Amino acid sequence: MKFVHKIFFLLTLCTGLSLAKVQAQENVEYFFHTITKGQSLYSIASMYKVSIDDIVRLNPGSDKQIRAGEKLKIPQTKAPDAQKETFHTIQAGETLYQLTVKYNITAQAICEANPGLNAKNFRAGQVIVIPLEEKKAETEVKEPEEVKETPRQEWKDMHKVARKETIFSISRMYGITQEELIAANPELKNGKLKRGTFLFIPYPKEEKTPVVEQQPTVTPSNEELFSENREEEKSIRTIKAAVLLPFMTGTNTAKENQTRMVEFYEGFLMAVDSLKRQGYSLDIHTFDTQGKEAVLNAILQKDELKNMNIIFGPAQIKNIKTLADFAENNKIRLVVPFMPKVDEVFNNPMIYQINTPQSYLYSEVYEHFIRKFGQTNVVFLDDGSNDREKTEFIQGLKNELKDHNIRFNQIRLGSEIDANKVIAAMDTLQENIFIPLSGRNTTLTKVIPHLTLVRKEHPHFDMHLFGYPEWQTYTQDYISNFYELDTYFYSSFYTNNLFPAAINFTHSYRKWYSKDMNNMFPKYGMLGFDIGYFFLKGLAQEGNRLEENLNKVQVTPIQTGFKFERVNNWGGFINRKVFFVHFTKDFELVKLDFE
């Protein structure tokens, strides 16, 4: 009997703990995030400064799989370093003006904290940052009682500034003092008024606030508030750019790394020369960081760095935060050329990440694959190599195929060539595409003989091979097989050495530097040229409106494509450009550029 009591007690205890856990989760303050294409739990956790475990606790099962369009509960962090801001999910029918009232903050502050937000994308489901500037000011600066800021919920009216009006005339119009008007509208402290802007009109000190809150006679629309807080358009006569890379002068670093940095910079200088020949004015400042934090900090102390329009660098993960913070504090664009993992991009609006993060890269590949091969029979080829690097890609692709009701199966190929096994997995009456589970050279060595045998015995079969970016480094070894199997592979970087642009650049590079570029992937000289040309020309053409007009920067890259999108309303940009390279059966090499 005692044994039964013990079991009952343990069950009760476990149940109580489970209920307590559920209740604890329910008591957590949270907001909703709608998952977008390419996002992973890691990127979502990074942008909201929470842990993956925090998200999974509120969203059981999210650690297994998340899909675009689904909603996640995100805990509203209470960490000390997050007290300067909070996150808000826009509700149906909510307006920017209503948010200014709800959070006791100006529209200008919200717009500045969310540079990716505008009247067109201000819609239900969007998450934005709400900076808690007003509360911070109250704790740090205690104003005299007579000019103490009037609470926003006690505003009596709103006034749209007309031509020739002054702070004094508006104060007289509403029977308040100039100090009271300025306290309710801190942006007036500089004494300047701008026609068309809206001002909050507080109750006079002697007037008692009524119990029933009154609505302003004029409620500004989203379009009006965004328009009045939009930065004035400015052209940039001379583009000031800094290059901060570890050229490693005077050090014993690996020669290969030094060669990459030098080649990148050499290509960058060729882009500068090309633009100068077109009449653009450029002022370039170059610094060797030597890969050392102390050297980087010393460089950032130089006065000229704070006046840059754009910075290119760094090349090492350990230097990103320092340079990213400097760029954000001084409102300077920062182009990170090489690294695929830049956590700062999720919270720093000044960052441009060139090398696409893996989850975003894969999502682009899946979308293009479904568009191109949505009616095919897909066969995955397992050669037993256990390539863990491709596990996430393959699983994600299989999930996409399932979601779009596209047939697929998987077969194991051994060392003994077996055409019948391949044919059994095919649909001989329609298009078939074969995808190895590994991108390794040894995998190609194993699977290609199986497929080429089927091709030779059945030339009428509709067959394709699909693979990975690293395959372009094996092209010389398998080029005839690639053509025979009508092969595709995806990549963010690609150039055909026979393309006219590539030929011209290679000749120019040899003429400039009396040497050839190293045969590596990607070619760093071309990378430096493409990146430098795109951003410097973009700034020269669009000025401070570059971020709004990235799609208007018309360049034809030699190797690197550009398709920038903000990661969220308050973060930076990542490059989502992906190509499919196609070796056709007609011995043509085609780069498929998806828009």
Q: How confident is the model at residue 160 (pLDDT cuts 50, 70, 90)?
A: confident
pLDDT in tens, 325-352: 999 999 999 999 999 999 999 999 999 9
Range of the domain at 283: 238-356+500-577
Q: Is residue 548 part of a domain?
A: yes
Say whether both 341 and 274 belong to one domain.
yes
| 151 lies in the same domain as 92 | no
Its sign, for the CA torsion 136, 138, 143, 147, is: positive
Residue 127's pLDDT band (boundaries 50, 70, 90)? very high
CA gap 304, 301 in Å, rounded:
9
Does the residue 19 lie in any domain?
no
Domain boundary among 447, 464, 491: 491
Q: How far apart are the first and last CA of the chain?
A: 73
Burial of 271 (0-12, 13-18, 19+ CB in 10 A): buried
d(CA 43, CA 53): 13
Residue burial 357-372, b: 16+ Cβ < 10 Å; e: rest: bbbbbbbbbbbbbeeb
My answer on whether 177 and 247 are in the same domain is: no
- What pLDDT does residue 136 have? 40
CATH of the domain at 215: 3.10.350.10
Do 186 and 76 share a structural domain?
no
* 147 shares a domain with 111: no
pLDDT digits (tens, 9 = 90+) for 168-214: 788 878 888 888 888 888 888 777 788 888 888 888 775 544 544 45
Handedness of CA 96, 102, 105, 109 (dihedral sign): negative
Q: Locate tokens 């589970």: which residue?
A: 437
DSSP string, 257-273: HHHHHHHHHHHHHHHHH
CA distance 91 to 346: 23
Q: Mean pLDDT over residues 393-401, rounded?
A: 96
Q: How many domains is the chain partitioned into structurally?
A: 4
- State whether residue 85 is helix, strand or coil: strand
Work out the average pLDDT over 140-162: 56
What stretches of 304-375 show up as alpha helix (H) in DSSP? 320-329, 358-373
CATH number at residue 470: 3.40.50.2300
pTM: 0.83
Q: Are 123 and 71 in contact (CB under 8 A)?
A: no
Q: With b meaning 16 or more CB within 10 Å and e meaning fewer, what string describes 20-46?
A: eeeeeeeeeebeebebeebbbbbbbbb
In DSSP terms, 582 is beta-bridged to: 488, 590
Tokens, residue 397 = 């692709």
Percent helix / strand / coil, the chain, rounded to 5? 45, 15, 40
Listed residues 228, 246, 271: the one ending a domain: 228
Residue at 591 is within a domain: no
pLDDT digits 0-9 by tens, 254-289:
677 889 999 999 999 999 999 999 999 999 999 999
Half-sphere exposure of 280 (CA within 13 A, CB side): 24
